[in-house]
Amino acid sequence: MNERQPIPNINIGQVYDQRYSDAEVHYDKLGNLAGFFGRNMPVHRHDRFFQVHYVNSGTVRVYLDDQQYVESGPMFFLTPPTIPHSFVTEPDADGHVLTVRQQLVWQLLQADPSLAPGPQVAPACVALSGLEPKYAAEARRLALLFGELHREINTGEAGREAALQSLTRLIMTSLLRLCARSLPARQTRHDDLQLFHRFNELIEAHYLEHWPLARYARGLGVTEARLNEVCRRIADLPSKRLILERLMQEARRMLLFTGSSANEICYSLGFKDPAYFSRFFARYAQMTPGVYRQRQAQGLAR
């Protein structure tokens, strides 16, 4: 990982859903989180939280520390606290994301240390199809548990909090059992991974300035062709697309979570012409900013 910049720490309850800023458990659909953070999630960590992404379908490219995995659903990847990770999901990938305070998992391990093979829980990426019978049964159970968690999170029935705690413990137990089947990591060049992460850092710092790709490449000390090759190898996306997706991510975020008009958002994002911004947004979202905001309010735009 790039050692020159601190790895960002993301607290889901503070930056995404402040209703759960002090909660032990946070859950949402993968598609909802992807709509907020984007499908290309640069390297980050979660201090004092375990996080699991359970993917029903679609392909995910995952980097857990410096280990690369490319897998299609059904699968999950588990990220222990402080482990740097990044991932890219396909537009149609969906599933569940569960974020849990580390104390809850520690309680499970204290009650039964055999749930983890060593003193610490290691990051894991597990494919859930084609497992031998013992693990296949556990995988089916895990799918049912996530379905129950999704149902319970959206109900206001009595005992909801107790049910969420119990379901989370069952899910984490099932996950830890299945971690024994973690996939071997793919080989990837460390220099390529460093370059990719540095590129994402530059995008984050300068996307509002609308730098051309040549300027990013110059700032990284590589050619445009080399940068594009690395981005295609690691994220299966051209380098220019990563820049545009960051702009789209911020446009969606502002449309969903601010009261700013489309014209105000246009200028905030560094565009000079509202008509051009509307065409840019429609090209990638297949609808205008106004329609996107309206459909999202109706729960139709995902």
Which of the four pLDDT bands, split at 50, 70 and 90, describes residue 89?
confident
For the chain, which domains are there? 12-187 (2.60.120.280), 190-301 (1.10.10.60)
Rank 59-63, 130-134, 150-154, 211-215 by mean pLDDT and report only the highest.
211-215
State the average pLDDT over residues 29-57.
Answer: 82
State the average pLDDT over residues 213-228.
Answer: 96
State the average pLDDT over residues 125-145.
Answer: 93
Question: Is the separation of the CB atoms in 96 and 161 below 8 Å?
Answer: no
Share of the chain above pLDDT 70, in %: 89
Per-residue pLDDT of 6-40, as tens digits, reads 556 555 555 555 555 566 888 988 888 777 676 77
| 108 HSE (CA, 13 A, CB side) | 23
Rank 83-87, 104-108, 115-119 by mean pLDDT and report only the highest.
104-108
Which of the four pLDDT bands, split at 50, 70 and 90, describes residue 192?
confident
Question: Is the separation of the CB atoms in 48 and 9 below 8 Å?
Answer: no
| Mean pLDDT estimate for the chain | 86
State the average pLDDT over residues 224-230.
Answer: 95
Contacts of residue 267, Cβ cutoff 8 Å, sequence gap at least 6: none
Is the model's pLDDT at 300 over the cut of 70? no
Q: Determine the Cα–Cα distance for residues 223 and 214; give it in Å rounded to an integer.
A: 8
Give me the pLDDT at residue 8, please. 61
Residue 253: Cβ-neighbour burial (10 angstroms; 0-12, 13-18, 19+)? middle
Question: Is the separation of the CB atoms in 63 and 192 below 8 Å?
Answer: no
Is the model's pLDDT at 301 over the cut of 50? no
- For the chain, the three-class secondary structure string (H helix, E strand, C coil) is CCCCCCCCECCHHHHCCHHHCCCCEEEEEHHHHHHHHCCEEEEEECCCEEEEEEEEECEEEEEECCEEEEEECCEEEEECCCCCEEEEECCCCEEEEEEEEHHHHHHHHHHCHHHCCCCCCCCEEEECCCCCHHHHHHHHHHHHHHHHHHHHHCCCCCCHHHHHHHHHHHHHHHHHHHHHHCCCCECCCHHHHHHHHHHHHHHHHHHHHCCCHHHHHHHHCCCHHHHHHHHHHHHCCCHHHHHHHHHHHHHHHHHHHCCCCHHHHHHHCCCCCHHHHHHHHHHHHCCCHHHHHHHHHCCCCC
